[in-house]
Chain A
């Protein structure tokens, strides 16, 4: 039973890698408990643990280090867990931050930071197992995303630029050109076909919703009545044509529920 959460696939995918974990709690006992649970849950993976007994300490000693997984106690003196988490997030954009808390109320503010989880105290084996199962799945996903080429090379007569995928809102076809609309409201155009573009950007993050549009799922706010609404201040609606309704819906459902 205890080993149930060790998914074989996770193990194979994470096995070769090295995880860097940070634990920050002002109570020594709590750190030891988390370490104990970790050695069970991640027994098949190589990992190192950095311990800190206050938010300031963690920030100080981890300046030049990057983590995959960070445990933060919320109720700490001086800097609380949320504040520490915000600072840590800047240096560790891909880390999973797990708040350990006695109260649910605090965690409410926490979801403004991406990729977080929280475990409500007292930390039991069962709760930790459930967390570990999720975390392993997400670590694999993050790895997978990182490995892929995450920048688009835009080459035209006037400009040559590298656009990171996460700064792209959507692509628009205009004649033989593709216009790349970016999160800062600017755009660049270059010559290519949607067919080729789809090969480079993959299907995980981008979905075609119209003969003339490919949208980044990261930027989608909602889909209603054949229209995709986008996040942000620069762009609003993108039409979805009949042929693409099914794939668009499927992609959004994957994002929402998986």
Chain B
């Protein structure tokens, strides 16, 4: 039995110090570049602790003091930080572990049905109890740390996964404990039980993590496919549109004589204002051609010019400057999703206004990013909090921003929205390499 209790001690110490290590590494920077050295230090710490336990005894004032000092020293060696802060954090952690020990003890004793904590004397249950208590501590610490860092950056999927792993493990432990304590025969001894439980925990955790991971990647991929499929349909429309414009371009020579004739006639008669208006009209028309030939990518040019058509219909001024790299690793279909949704949103926001309707689109390259900036005027009173849409089709509009965000995140890019002084700003940056993935487009 002595042998087994040593294993229990080792595992518990290991668990405790690794949990501590996790908390520390979230707050401090590691001093040692080689990671294995950290583990060597921790194992050394455990060895010394065991030695002290066995030569002096568990509960002895000076021994406790020495053990604490050793912990401080070890973590000071591993992490780079002010000594006082490391000591304070270690003490806080130990107190929190004590609290979670107590909670776990209460929980377990109520499950087993005893009111005293005597069951902790038994090595097997001590192990189970120790692991549960450290898990409680680990999860609380993890939640607190991620909460404090940035509530909004916390991925809910991660949270769900942790909760799922925890729930299934707790259920498993409770079930195993139930069966173990109910059976009275000495067929299964403590050692086998503890090893079984440990293996079970490891196996279940791995399984759940793997499963949730593949569910997440699969659902992401499915959403990606779905988005792209929809966008391909729109691309067909855009490409047809660009063909129409090409036809219009062919007849422009004919128009040229006509326009010059009109302008000349008006000027001849001294009608300067009407002539100016007329030219402004022609310029606007020319703008469509400029937009239609603004990129090397027909899909994008078609998208821009067909959106510009909608804007003309609604009297929205469109300032458009586009510089896309000639070769890039960003798929046109993805760019089309971003631009299409963003411009639709901008147009919709402008339609609430009576005058001063304008949309500025700027696309350029900076660093290794393609930057897309869209600025549009909007009716401040009508935009509710959280950029929820004001229209009845709230679902559609909200989806717009979501889809943009989805694509940007797929590329590990930057997505920012902002609004001030009656202007709504959407800033997107997508990293690119000069590799062509658009040959088939």
Q: Identify the A interface with B (CB < 8 A).
A: 103-105, 107-108, 111, 120, 122, 124, 130, 211, 220-222, 224-225, 229, 231, 241-243, 249, 252-253, 255-257
Contacts and interface: CB of A to CB of B under 8 A. Distances in A.
A256 B367 CA distance: 8
A255 B367 CA distance: 9
Interface in B335-391: 364-369, 371, 373
Interface stretch (B1-9, B85-93, B175-183, B288-296): B288-296
A246 B319 CA distance: 33
B404 to A, nearest CB: 15
B412 A253 contact: no
Contacts of A255: 366-367
A257 B319 CA distance: 17
Contacts of A130: 319
Contacts of A124: 280, 283
A224 B429 CA distance: 12
A231 B373 CA distance: 24
Which 4 A/B pairs are nearest by Cβ-Cβ distance? A221-B368, A222-B368, A222-B431, A257-B427
A192 to B, nearest CB: 20
A220 B366 CA distance: 10
Given A104-B293, A256-B414, A242 B29 contact: yes
B152 interface: no
A225 to B, nearest CB: 7
A105 B367 contact: no
B253 interface: no
Contacts of A108: 296, 323, 326
Contact of A105 (B280, B293, B364, B373): B293
Given A120-B290, A257-B373, 7 more contacts: A104-B294, A104-B322, A111-B323, A130-B319, A222-B368, A222-B369, A249-B414
Given A252-B367, A255-B366, A224 B412 contact: yes
Nearest to A246: B150
Looking at chain B, what size class is its interface with the partner chain? Answer: 20 to 34
Contact of B416 (A111, A225, A253): A253
B110 interface: no
Contacts of A253: 414, 416, 427, 429
Nearest to B280: A124
Interface of B: 26, 29, 80, 279-280, 283, 286, 290, 293-294, 296, 319, 322-323, 326, 364-369, 371, 373, 412, 414, 416, 427, 429, 431
Contacts of A241: 29
Contacts, number: 59
A255 B412 CA distance: 17
Report which residue of A231, A241, A242 has the largest number of chain B beta carbons within 10 angstroms of its beta carbon: A242
Given A242-B29, A257-B416, A257-B427, A229 B290 contact: no
Contacts of B371: 256-257
B367 A222 contact: yes
Given A107-B323, A108-B323, A229 B368 contact: yes
Contacts of A104: 290, 293-294, 322
Contacts of A252: 367, 414
A161 B213 CA distance: 54
Contacts of A105: 293
Contacts of B431: 222, 224
A252 B368 CA distance: 11
B294 to A, nearest CB: 5
A103 B293 CA distance: 9
Nearest to B371: A256
A257 B429 contact: yes
A231 to B, nearest CB: 8
Given A105-B293, A108-B326, A224-B412, A211 B367 contact: no
A163 to B, nearest CB: 22
Contact of A220 (B283, B367, B429): B367
25 contacts: A104-B290, A108-B326, A111-B365, A120-B290, A122-B279, A124-B280, A211-B80, A220-B367, A221-B367, A222-B367, A222-B431, A224-B412, A229-B368, A241-B29, A243-B29, A249-B414, A252-B414, A253-B414, A253-B416, A255-B366, A255-B367, A256-B366, A256-B371, A257-B416, A257-B427
A99 to B, nearest CB: 12
Nearest to A107: B323
B319 A211 contact: no
A242 to B, nearest CB: 7
A120 B290 CA distance: 9
A224 to B, nearest CB: 5
B76 to A, nearest CB: 16
Nearest to B365: A111
Contacts of A249: 414
Chain B CB count within 10 A is highest, among A104, A220, A224, A231, for A104
Contacts of A220: 367
B29 A211 contact: yes
B122 to A, nearest CB: 41
A221 to B, nearest CB: 4
